[in-house]
Amino acid sequence: MTMFSKNKKIMMVLAIVVVGTLFGGMMAVSATDGINPLDEIGRRVAEWISSQEAAKDLENEKVTNESNASFYELAYAKATSEQKEELDKIIADKSIGLPGEWRRAVLIAIGDLPKDTPRLSAEQAAKLFDSKEISDLESEFNKIAGAPDFVGGSGIQRSIYFLKDDRSEAIILMLGDVFHIVYNDDGTETRLPIGTQKLPSDPGPYQEGPRIDEDAIVPSK
């Protein structure tokens, strides 16, 4: 069984070197000052090891903070000047009316997704709904569309996949359920079944954005 990690072994070797360096000096000092050289060496080595561990913790904290950068921040860091102008336009779109991120458009803008990446279709969503667990649907949808168009929400997270470029129809993953929504010209929204999905007899109006009555939504699977 390995007793120490590689970093610990290196630290122990360095500590021994420090002990050797300190020992010569402390023997000379102890003869005149009455200091126990072993006690003093132990104290100084402990301080040195503590300072090294503190430095390592600071380095790890820096790495952790960098990994916690937001999706938009990471996209800007990678983007060219021209791509940043496109990102500004995408991020300025507040049409959803919810806090969140435009994932698919951003990934296409910075070249992480091809511009001709297809959208998810209602037929594909239906087939996957009938053959996969709901918890697996987002990863399965992403194999087709690359990413959700929008991810976010106010208190309740949702992933939205628009089926058409004009955003007139969408598949939404939310509250452990799947919603096929058609946005009608008169401003109303219609929920359709996906595959063999059984909708409540009176599901009530579905309204995307801050108007949604989330307590009234009944899971269908």
Q: What is the pLDDT of residues 103-120, one digit of tens each?
A: 999 999 999 999 999 999
At 146, the amino acid letter reads G
Region 13-28: mean pLDDT is 47
CB 37 within 8 A of CB 25: no
Sheet with 189-192, edge to edge strand ranges: 100-102, 150-152, 158-162, 169-174, 177-183, 189-192
Cα(146)–Cα(149) distance, integer angstroms: 9
User: Domain spans of the chain?
Assistant: 6-67, 71-216
pTM of the model: 0.63
Residue 90 phi, psi (nearest 5)? -65, -50
Q: Which residue has the higher pLDDT, 22 or 182?
A: 182
Region 162-191: mean pLDDT is 95
* pLDDT-derived band at 194, boundaries 50, 70, 90: very high
- Stretch among 58-67, 132-141, 158-167 having the lowest mean pLDDT: 58-67
Helix (H) or strand (E) holding 178: strand 177-183
pLDDT value at 4 more than 60: no
- Stretch among 66-75, 81-90, 163-172 having the lowest mean pLDDT: 66-75
Partners of residue 189 on adjacent β-strands: 183
Q: Which residue has the higher pLDDT, 176 or 207?
A: 176
Locate all alpha helices (DSSP H) within 80-179, ordered by sequence.
81-91, 103-109, 122-131, 137-145
Cα(11)–Cα(17) distance, integer angstroms: 10
